[in-house]
């Protein structure tokens, strides 16, 4: 059999894995791989402008298509720049395979030019990481990387490729099967345990479903909705689980947690059985641990054993893939009489509905409301901060309207690259990013990628001139000392002791859009919102930035006091 | 020790590969788990290493440690030694320096009592070797520290294996 180089086998492996898009940034240690990719036409190469954004793009592509996102970066700084992206993907269980170049084996350990121990650096933020040390292992390792990334609880896998290994001749074979003795992910559900859980659910007077991101990752929303309707048990979701059931469904209560709906947090605090699926009971949803769902028996389905009984002691643990488990549940569940409990929840909803202060010119709610009205089908991508929580509260989601964001790590700068990745994976679906003025600037260089890839994404910037979420904490808990959060601050404000700020915001986002060859629209009041989106829809070959000038005083309510219980909600002030 | 905290042992089968040791120890460091001792060596199968890990933790943390180890790709098998019969020993060397002749006599007596071996001997120093449980080694170190000023201690960490017929630990 004719031997081939590692570089050639790499390209062959991607083809056999069905990879359609590779997000790559070149460098000295990967230049030979770039050269091989030049010679083929099966895989589209996207060239972002920064490796962090590159990983976010692959991540959003993976989240919105269900396929594995593939990254290729060079060694040294190329590799260290992927760290934030990998950690983001790891927290939100996103399947990625990230290939990093590495210096030749004889240079490893020499502090060679652009050498870093990237496997060591990313050990705690990847599902698995490995350096290919022998050419004969290359095919097997790539095969295993894809398998590990997409099975079990999905996650990012890093494969480090020393330049000389890739240049070496070896077998052209790419393995067909995988057998890793230490990794046998369990997906099937233990029926006995599931029946036991259903029995407990049926006996409950105040039962509640809690759906986490796992329900969305396993794409179990449809069957989950059927189970909910059959049982008549109401549902709360985490931010990552939002959309597991359509948000206009009568049995959907709201999101729970730090910025959850009043009724949702009250429902959790008062339920007697909490049937949770695909969540790790992150501190942002539980509030004070010992007071979380104090009266409830807790059932927990999760694919990751380590997520069960870590933060919250669980009464009935079930290790399974969410979709497998819910599909089995659909066979066994029965209708329950939850009328009284639903009325109680309705009472909470009416007592404190989700609402925002009416603003003279425009409130974020006007903007999100317009998105809800104008788009029947869409992928919404947020950045991190106040706007993210507002979208999580108010965005209407259906089986055709999805929401993605950096939930676990809370990575500012995810919005724009996230929209790019989502649009590349779903060219026919409208993609709308919603960012703050802070987060937008963290990966603003990706405007070039969006323009050159001809992606008509709609990029909404909620500009309040502040890092709003931190500012909110400063307003509520730090005596309104807005330290480090005013994005207009600089030399002038230092000279004048905070008395004066520049009158113009930097940058001018409309001009910035234009300089990239995108469209820029500034919206100052609510009458301009609908026309702005209409205008953006007409821009079908390039991105549109819509900058919404919103009130700097905007707050997100309700809010649980840090360290408080779910019932300790600040409703307004 | 805090409530519920106690010493526990895990035996771990792992892939004998570069970086696995650092991955395991990194897990303990990164998640703030106590790591009392860790020994590692290859097994009858050269592709597999076996570790004996001692940790001080409460029940919940220990459960979490086992789960976290289990989900690692390179970990082949996790055995909890807490409630099964095992044989477990630790090697301990103590070098006692600046000994008077009377000190040496006493050290020989200590060696006999504790079933240690005197394995090396100099003009004014002595080297003792103990192979016993880590707890007994703790006691010996404490004792010798009280009696002698200038000592040097090195210990290997416990190595354990499941018993065949012995119903003791």
C-beta atoms of B14 and A305 within 8 A: no
C-beta atoms of A182 and B26 within 8 A: no
Would strands B48-57 and B37-42 be described as parallel, antiparallel, or unpaired? Answer: antiparallel
What does the block give as tokens for A130?
């490995």
- Euclidean distance between CA atoms A116 and A280, whole angstroms: 32
The pLDDT, as a whole number, for residue A402 is: 98
Contacts of B64 in chain A (CB under 8 A): 306, 310
Q: What integer is the mean pLDDT of B100-104?
A: 93
Among residues A273, A264, A267, A328, the alpha carbon closest in space to that of A295 is found at A273
B61-to-A294, B57, B58, B67 alpha-carbon distances in Å: 22, 6, 5, 10
- Tell which of A154, A181, A280 to mutate to test the B interface (max B CBs under 10 Å): A181
The pLDDT, as a whole number, for residue A561 is: 87
Q: What integer is the mean pLDDT of B100-117?
A: 93
Residues of chain A below pLDDT 50: none
- Euclidean distance between CA atoms A349 and A262, whole angstroms: 7
The pLDDT, as a whole number, for residue A1 is: 82
Q: Compute the mean pLDDT over every residue in chain A, rounded to the nearest whole number.
A: 96
CB A462 within 8 A of CB A471: no
- Euclidean distance between CA atoms A433 and A443, whole angstroms: 13
Would strands A21-24 and A44-46 be described as parallel, antiparallel, or unpaired? Answer: parallel
The pLDDT, as a whole number, for residue A73 is: 98
The pLDDT, as a whole number, for residue B167 is: 64
- Of B23, B71, B76, which is closest to A305 when you measure between CB atoms? B71
The pLDDT, as a whole number, for residue A152 is: 96
Contacts of B22 in chain A (CB under 8 A): 120, 123
- Euclidean distance between CA atoms A210 and A322, whole angstroms: 12
Which residues in A have their CB inside 8 Å of a CB on B?
Answer: 119-120, 123-124, 127-128, 130-131, 133, 148, 180-183, 304-306, 308-310, 313
Between chain A and chain B, the number of residue pairs with CB atoms below 8 A apart is 43
What HEC string does A506-518 produce?
CCCHHHHHHHHCC
The pLDDT, as a whole number, for residue A276 is: 97
Query: Is A469 labeled as catalytic in the residue annotation?
Result: yes
* Interface ipTM: 0.90
Helix orientation angle between A468-477 and A386-394, rounded to the nearest 10 degrees: 100
Inform me whether the C-beta atom of residue B32 falls under 8 Å from chain A C-beta atoms: no
Report chain A's terminal Cα–Cα distance, integer Å: 75
What does the block give as tokens for A353?
């509905």
Report chain B's terminal Cα–Cα distance, integer Å: 23
Strand order in the sheet with A44-46: A44-46, A21-24, A69-73, A96-102, A156-162, A128-131
Query: From its phi and psi, is residue A424 left (phi > 0), alpha (psi between -120 and 50) or beta?
Result: alpha
- Euclidean distance between CA atoms A150 and A281, whole angstroms: 23
Choose, from A240, A356, A469, A555, the residue flagged as catalytic: A469
- Of B15, B26, B67, which is closest to A305 when you measure between CB atoms? B67
- Euclidean distance between CA atoms A369 and A58, whole angstroms: 29
B155-to-B28, B43, B71 alpha-carbon distances in Å: 21, 21, 30
What does the block give as tokens for A144?
């295993």
The pLDDT, as a whole number, for residue A573 is: 54
- Of A124, A180, A310, which is closest to B30 when you measure between CB atoms? A124
Q: What are φ and ψ of residue B134, in 5° steps?
A: -60, -35
Inform me whether the C-beta atom of residue B27 falls under 8 Å from chain A C-beta atoms: yes
C-beta atoms of A306 and B72 within 8 A: no
The pLDDT, as a whole number, for residue B169 is: 53
Chain B residue with the nearest C-alpha to that of A182: B76
How close is the nearest chain B Cα to the Cα of A183, in Å?
A: 5
How close is the nearest chain B Cα to the Cα of A204, in Å?
A: 27
**Interval B40-69: pLDDT, tens:** 999 999 999 999 999 999 999 999 999 999
The pLDDT, as a whole number, for residue B82 is: 87
A573-to-A356, A559, A565 alpha-carbon distances in Å: 12, 11, 19
How close is the nearest chain A Cα to the Cα of B156, in Å?
A: 26
Rg for chain B, CA atoms, rounded: 19
Q: What is the pTM of this model?
A: 0.96
The 10 Å Cβ neighbour count of residue B125 is 18
C-beta atoms of A305 and B70 within 8 A: yes
- Euclidean distance between CA atoms A18 and A150, whole angstroms: 13
What does the block give as tokens for B143?
């004792």
Contacts of B61 in chain A (CB under 8 A): none
How close is the nearest chain A Cα to the Cα of B48, in Å?
A: 11
Strand order in the sheet with A252-255: A252-255, A235-237, A207-211, A273-277, A297-302, A316-319
How remote is the C-alpha of A353 from its chain's centroid? Answer: 26
Chain A residue with the nearest C-alpha to that of B14: A182
What does the block give as tokens for A561?
């006091």
How close is the nearest chain A Cα to the Cα of B165, in Å?
A: 29
- Euclidean distance between CA atoms A561 and B132, whole angstroms: 54
- Let me know the angle formed at the C-alpha of A411 by A485 and A185, rounded to the nearest 5 degrees: 160
C-beta atoms of A119 and B19 within 8 A: yes
pLDDT category of residue B3 using cuts at 50, 70 and 90: confident
What does the block give as tokens for A87?
């950690």
Inform me whether the C-beta atom of residue B70 falls under 8 Å from chain A C-beta atoms: yes
- Euclidean distance between CA atoms B78 and A301, whole angstroms: 23
Burial of residue A16 (number of CB atoms within 10 Å: 0-12, 13-18, 19+)? middle
CB A490 within 8 A of CB A500: no
**Contact residues, B window 83-142, toward A, CB-based 8 Å cutoff:** none
Contacts of B19 in chain A (CB under 8 A): 119-120, 123, 130-131
- Specify which residues A73 forms β-bridges with: A100
Token pair 């006999």 is found at: B112
């Amino acid at each position: 059999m004719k031997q081939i180089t590692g570089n050639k086998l790499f390209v062959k492996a991607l083809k056999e894995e069905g990879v359609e898009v590779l997000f790559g940034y070149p460098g000295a240690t990967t230049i030979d791989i770039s050269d091989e990719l030049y010679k083929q036409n099966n895989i589209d190469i996207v060239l972002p402008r920064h490796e962090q954004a590159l990983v976010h793009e692959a991540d959003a592509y993976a989240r919105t298509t269900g396929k594995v996102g593939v990254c290729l970066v060079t060694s040294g700084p190329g590799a260290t720049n992927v760290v934030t992206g990998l950690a983001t993907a790891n927290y939100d269980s996103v399947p990625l395979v990230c290939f990093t170049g590495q210096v030749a084996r004889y240079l490893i350990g020499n502090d060679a030019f652009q050498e870093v121990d990237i496997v060591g650096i990313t050990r705690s933020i990847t599902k698995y990481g490995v350096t290919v040390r022998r050419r004969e292992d290359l095919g097997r390792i790539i095969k295993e990387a894809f398998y590990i990334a997409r099975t079990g609880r999905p996650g990012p896998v890093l494969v480090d490729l020393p330049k000389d290994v890739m240049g070496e001749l070896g077998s052209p074979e790419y393995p067909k099967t995988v057998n890793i003795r230490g990794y046998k992910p369990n997906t099937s559900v233990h029926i006995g345990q599931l029946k036991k859980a259903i029995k407990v659910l049926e006996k409950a007077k105040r039962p509640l479903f809690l759906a986490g991101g796992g329900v969305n990752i396993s794409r179990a929303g449809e069957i989950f909705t059927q189970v909910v309707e059959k049982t008549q048990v109401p549902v709360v979701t985490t931010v990552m689980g939002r959309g597991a059931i359509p948000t206009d469904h009568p049995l959907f209560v709201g999101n729970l947690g730090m910025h959850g709906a009043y009724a949702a947090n009250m429902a959790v605090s008062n339920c007697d059985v909490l049937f949770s699926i695909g969540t790790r009971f992150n501190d942002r949803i539980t509030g004070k641990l010992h007071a979380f769902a104090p009266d409830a028996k807790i059932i927990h389905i999760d694919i990751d054993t380590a997520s069960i009984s870590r933060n919250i002691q669980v009464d009935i643990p079930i290790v399974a893939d969410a979709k497998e488990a819910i599909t089995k549940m659909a066979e066994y569940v029965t209708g329950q009489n939850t009328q009284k409990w639903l009325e109680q929840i309705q009472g909470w909803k009416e007592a404190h509905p989700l609402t925002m202060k009416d603003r003279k010119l425009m409130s974020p709610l006007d903007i999100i409301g317009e998105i809800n009205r104008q788009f029947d089908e869409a992928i919404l991508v947020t950045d991190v901060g106040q706007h993210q929580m507002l979208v999580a509260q108010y965005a209407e989601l259906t089986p055709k309207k999805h929401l993605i964001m950096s939930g676990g790590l809370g990575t500012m700068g995810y919005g724009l690259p996230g929209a790019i990745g989502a649009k590349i994976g779903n060219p026919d679906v409208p993609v709308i990013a919603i960012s703050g003025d802070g987060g937008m600037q963290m990966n603003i260089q990706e405007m070039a990628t969006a323009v050159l890839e001809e992606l008509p994404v709609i990029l909404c910037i909620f500009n309040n001139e502040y890092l709003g979420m931190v500012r909110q904490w400063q307003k509520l808990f730090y005596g309104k000392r807005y330290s480090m959060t005013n994005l207009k601050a600089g030399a002038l404000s230092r000279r004048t002791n905070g008395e004066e700020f520049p009158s113009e915001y930097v940058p001018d986002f409309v001009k910035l859009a234009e300089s990239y060859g995108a469209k820029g629209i500034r919206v100052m009041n609510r009458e301009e919102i609908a026309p702005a989106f209409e205008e953006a829809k007409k821009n079908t070959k390039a991105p549109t930035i819509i900058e919404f000038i919103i009130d700097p005083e905007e707050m997100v309510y309700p809010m649980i006091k840090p360290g408080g219980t779910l019932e300790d909600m600040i409703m307004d002030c | 020790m805090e409530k519920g905290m106690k010493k526990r042992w895990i035996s771990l089968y792992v892939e004998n590969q570069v970086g696995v040791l650092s991955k395991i120890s990194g897990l303990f460091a990164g998640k703030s788990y106590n790591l009392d001792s860790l020994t590692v060596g290859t097994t009858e199968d050269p592709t597999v290493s076996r570790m004996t890990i001692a940790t001080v933790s409460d029940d919940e943390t220990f459960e979490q440690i086992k789960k976290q180890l289990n989900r690692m790709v390179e970990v082949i098998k996790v055995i909890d030694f807490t409630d099964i019969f095992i044989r477990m020993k630790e090697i301990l060397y103590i070098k006692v320096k600046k000994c008077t002749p009377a000190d040496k006599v006493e050290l020989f007596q200590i060696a006999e009592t504790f079933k240690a071996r005197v394995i090396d001997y100099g003009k004014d120093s002595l080297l003792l070797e103990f192979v016993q449980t880590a707890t007994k080694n703790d006691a010996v170190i404490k004792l010798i520290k009280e009696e002698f000023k200038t000592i040097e201690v090195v210990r290997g960490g416990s190595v354990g294996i499941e018993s065949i017929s012995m119903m003791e630990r």
